[in-house]
């Protein structure tokens, strides 16, 4: 074995020396023009794959942000429900403490139950959500009104605000003069088989407006009514609710307030933020995002294998240089490191160019919306949100793939050199 194998015995063992040689090999003119072309193709393939990763992840971020904004118009900042059971007393001492918190701006009582809707000759099941008077202030319901206005009681008649899907199925419109009838089973009596209609409570309301969250779980199933009407319909006592919805003060840290309320209420209650209220939906979006990321990473890995051909030809082209370096005292580890850096540089150049192009495309799409979704969608163009964390992840991923692609030819060179000793 050569005495040159110890990197501490010669001046060429530093990383900076290996990097300088690799950088010179990358940007200098080779003796065979084909090597320059293949290196350019390798970097271009990495750049295109990187650009695709950045754009796709940004589009997923855009859709997530868009849907989160839609839900935020209807969902509260925090929602309190029982861990076990359904109804609880809103006048409990624990909830009294929550109501007095400075970070809690609105404290909305909610009763949510299933019922049967009837309008003229059309019938459908739905979820009736009774809310207290400050619901309009707690949410941005006014911003998602499709028709009419948000009004639950006009001083003389009870009003209802159904979702767009419910209104479409029943043929409802704002300010229709025919009443919307709501039926719910009586809690205090058994079903009368001879006269089953007597086993239901019935109330009549008039539609004041129609909301559209643009999410089927709300638009196709929900009807908003006053909490007084809901208590009468479902036979709940005055202080009973199924949930409490909270709006926090501007600038309040949701996680801190959520933790504080959990400590006050204990394990008997659940306190959910906006993400947790729609946890299954957002989890599906995250899974879709990272499955797409893995598929594109596989494609990028295949593109990165062009580096193998580029390095192999460069090694052949620089055979004389390798022998010169060995004569000057360079060991196998140094030679390996030079070409490993060469592969990394090809990947790094491709990654930086791809991230730059991807970022520019995302900015152009965000401001000008060149790529259209077509008619019938919530937005006209694909939404994008460029995220620095995603770009950093993409850069690290590309470098890791560049290492894998460069390692095989570099390892082969080392083996050949060892055999020649």
278 phi, psi to nearest 5 deg: -120, 40
Q: With 0-12 CB in 10 A as exposed, 13-18 as middle and 19+ as buried, what is 292?
A: middle
pTM for the model: 0.75
- Residues 117 and 180: beta-carbon distance below 8 Å: yes
Name the 3-class secondary structure at 244: strand
The rounded radius of gyration (Å) of the Cα atoms in the chain is: 33
Q: What's the mean pLDDT in 268-297?
A: 91
Nearest one of 112, 212, 232 to 162, comparing CA atoms: 212
Domain ranges of the chain: 3-70+282-420, 77-277
Q: What is d(CA 103, CA 27) in angstroms, rounded to the nearest whole number? A: 59
- The alpha carbon dihedral of 60, 66, 72, 75 has a sign of negative
- CA nearest 246: which of 150, 140, 143, 138? 138
Average pLDDT over every residue of 45-55: 92
C-beta separation of 230 from 214 below 8 A = no
Which tokens go with 20? 């300088």
- Of the two residues 222 and 338, the one the predictor is more confident about is 222
Tokens 């229709």 identify what position? 176
pLDDT band with cut points at 50, 70 and 90 for residue 81: very high
Encode pLDDT of 373-398 as tens digits.
876 677 788 899 988 999 999 999 99
pLDDT for 171 equals 93
7 confidence band (pLDDT: 50, 70, 90): very low
């Amino acid at each position: 074995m050569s005495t040159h194998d110890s990197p501490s015995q010669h001046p060429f063992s530093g990383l900076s020396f290996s990097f300088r040689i690799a950088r010179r090999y990358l940007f200098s003119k080779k003796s065979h023009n084909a090597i320059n072309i293949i290196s350019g193709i390798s970097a271009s393939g990495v750049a295109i794959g990187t650009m695709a990763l950045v754009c796709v992840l940004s589009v997923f971020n855009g859709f997530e942000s868009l849907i989160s904004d839609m839900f935020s118009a209807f969902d509260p900042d925090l929602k309190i429900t029982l861990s076990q059971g359904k109804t609880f007393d809103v006048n409990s001492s624990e909830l009294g403490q929550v109501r007095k918190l400075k970070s809690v701006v609105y404290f909305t009582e909610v009763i949510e139950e299933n019922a049967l809707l009837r309008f003229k000759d059309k019938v459908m099941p739905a979820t009736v959500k009774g809310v207290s008077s400050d619901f309009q202030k707690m949410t941005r319901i006014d911003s998602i009104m499709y028709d009419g206005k948000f009004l639950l009681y006009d001083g003389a008649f009870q009003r209802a605000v159904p979702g767009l899907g419910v209104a479409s199925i029943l043929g409802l419109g704002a300010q229709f003069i025919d009443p919307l009838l709501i039926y719910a089973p009586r809690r205090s009596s058994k079903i009368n088989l001879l006269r089953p209609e007597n086993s239901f409570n019935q109330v009549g309301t008039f539609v004041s407006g129609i909301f559209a969250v643009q999410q089927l779980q709300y638009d196709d199933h929900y009807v908003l009514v006053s909490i007084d009407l809901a208590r009468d319909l479902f036979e709940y006592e005055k202080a009973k609710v199924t949930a409490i919805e909270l709006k926090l003060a501007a600038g309040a840290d949701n996680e801190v307030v959520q933790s504080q309320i959990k400590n006050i209420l204990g394990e008997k209650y659940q306190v959910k933020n906006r993400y947790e209220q729609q946890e299954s939906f957002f989890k599906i979006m995250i899974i879709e995002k990272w499955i797409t990321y893995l598929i594109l990473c596989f494609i990028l890995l295949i593109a990165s294998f062009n580096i193998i051909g580029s390095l192999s030809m460069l090694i052949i082209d620089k055979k004389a240089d390798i022998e010169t370096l060995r004569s000057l005292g360079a060991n196998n580890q140094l030679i390996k490191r030079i070409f490993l850096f060469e592969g990394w540089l090809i990947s790094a150049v491709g990654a930086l160019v791809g991230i730059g192009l991807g970022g520019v495309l995302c900015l152009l799409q965000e401001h000008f919306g060149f790529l259209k979704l077509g008619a019938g969608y919530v937005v006209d163009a694909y939404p994008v949100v460029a995220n620095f964390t995603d770009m950093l992840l993409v850069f690290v991923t590309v470098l890791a793939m560049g290492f894998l692609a460069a390692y095989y030819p570099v390892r082969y060179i080392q083996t050949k050199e060892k055999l020649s000793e």
